[in-house]
Amino acid sequence: AYIGDKEFEGKAHHTLTFSEDGAETVKIQTKDEDAHFVLIAGEPLKEPIVQHGPFVMNTQEEIYDTFVDYQYNQNGFERARNWHSTIA
């Protein structure tokens, strides 16, 4: 992928992140095979980010609170008790 004059090489099932340098053009070029991808863009949040497992919050305390909510099936996790992924 090219963003402006910068080249980024991506591999299957990996994530590429681009900076906010103002480039408005994204060029995707493949060698031999078709490419399938999702491009997501937005304004930078400019907020702290804390990630643990599948959860992303702004503080470690919010992460802790989210784990408690998940364990007790509350605050949005009410149906999590009987949910099972079909992926794994």
Decide if 63 contacts 50 (C-beta within 8 A). yes
Residue 20 has pLDDT above 80, yes or no: no
Enclosing H/E stretch for 71: helix 60-71
pLDDT computed for residue 71 by the predictor: 93
Residue 55 has pLDDT above 80, yes or no: yes
Domain boundaries, the chain: 1-44, 50-82
Residue 6 has pLDDT above 80, yes or no: no
Decide if 59 contacts 47 (C-beta within 8 A). no
pLDDT computed for residue 3 by the predictor: 66
Residue 7 has pLDDT above 70, yes or no: yes
Residue 40 has pLDDT above 70, yes or no: yes
Position 48 confidence tier, pLDDT thresholds 50, 70, 90: very high
pLDDT computed for residue 23 by the predictor: 64
Question: For the chain, where are the E strands, in sequence order?
Answer: 2-3, 6-7, 26-27, 50-52, 55-57
**Among candidate residues 29, 54, 24, the one with its CA nearest the CA of residue 41:** 24
Residue 66, token pair as written in the block: 């989210």
